[in-house]
Amino acid sequence: MGITREDVLHVARLARLEFADEEIDGFAEQLSAILDYVAKLDELDLTGTEPMAHVHEAVNAFREDRARPPLGQEAVLANAPEAEAGCFRVPKVIEG
């Protein structure tokens, strides 16, 4: 299954992307090569193979969730680029 120039242009338009003509031809070739490779994978006999979500066994690496004393206001604001009256000072983004 090959990707045509029109396919690339259609997807680019949907994604609101603009490409030069030579880029479009290159993308069509690259995407076609990817689909050809995926089609080769379909030829494999996977009878009895269990589906999996990860190549390696996934183990949760989260720490135990324990209540701890909160940080003080000074510690929280210590690395703030700007602070004012005990609050983070941020640039105004809404006119009003």
What are the structural domains, with CATH classification, of the chain? 5-41 (1.10.20)
End-to-end alpha carbon distance in the chain = 54
Hey, is 48 helix, strand or coil?
Answer: coil
pLDDT at 62: 85
pLDDT digits (tens, 9 = 90+) for 33-89: 999 999 998 899 989 988 887 777 777 778 888 999 999 999 999 999 999 999 999
Q: Mean pLDDT over residues 18-42, rounded?
A: 92
pLDDT at 24: 95
Location of structure tokens 């940080």:
71
Q: Choose between 54 and 94: higher pLDDT.
A: 94
Q: Please report which confidence band the pLDDT of residue 1 belongs to, taking 50, 70 and 90 as the band edges.
A: low
Hey, is 84 helix, strand or coil?
Answer: strand
